[in-house]
A and B are shown apart, each in its own frame.
Chain A
């Protein structure tokens, strides 16, 4: 089955620790994205990548970092510099035409 996987579904971390969220896709899509969603709010774009070894900041990149070493993978690191990291994180991908985004199931991060 083609799709996007995110792991884990739930993640708990202590304040001050960096944490890396995984996102893998087997859709052969060029572009990948990370969004953050807070309760009752819309999606906010953190980072996106059009091709391997290249990525751009979205609307709320501060306190986050990404890498894109492989086409299938786009991990997101939430650093200790992110002041309010508790949120629902969604990864997405799209093909070269960009006509439709496919989303993963999300990771709910709670920082204690």
Chain B
């Protein structure tokens, strides 16, 4: 069956450092992989999408990589700030398939 695994441990980092989150998937051949941010009690908000033919994508302080051989995506928050504290979710999506399942998420806490 299809499986999406994210860092099971919460991440606690000092302000200014880089947070690196992992998303591994099995039994998927995703054409895209999406990353979302979720704050407590709210719905997730879309952050970034990376396509299978892209190795890396950046948006401001965020960087995502996608390795289809390793079946893995890495999500980096550089120069982290306390406002980056949230849960981050990954969601691989196959081409022409509207089904979208999410990993359990990794909670990041940035200390001032």
Contacts and interface: CB of A to CB of B under 8 A. Distances in A.
Interface of A: 31, 33, 35, 41-45, 48, 50, 56, 58-59, 88, 90, 92, 94, 98-106
Contacts of A92: 43
B79 interface: no
B103 A45 contact: no
B80 to A, nearest CB: 22
27 contacts: A35-B102, A41-B104, A42-B6, A42-B103, A42-B105, A43-B44, A43-B89, A43-B101, A45-B99, A45-B101, A48-B99, A48-B100, A50-B98, A56-B99, A58-B99, A88-B41, A90-B43, A98-B98, A99-B34, A99-B49, A100-B49, A101-B44, A101-B46, A101-B91, A103-B44, A105-B42, A106-B43
Interface of B: 6, 32, 34, 36, 41-46, 49, 89, 91, 93, 98-105
Contacts, number: 58
Contacts of A58: 99, 101
Main secondary structure of the interface of B (DSSP, over half): loop
A52 to B, nearest CB: 14
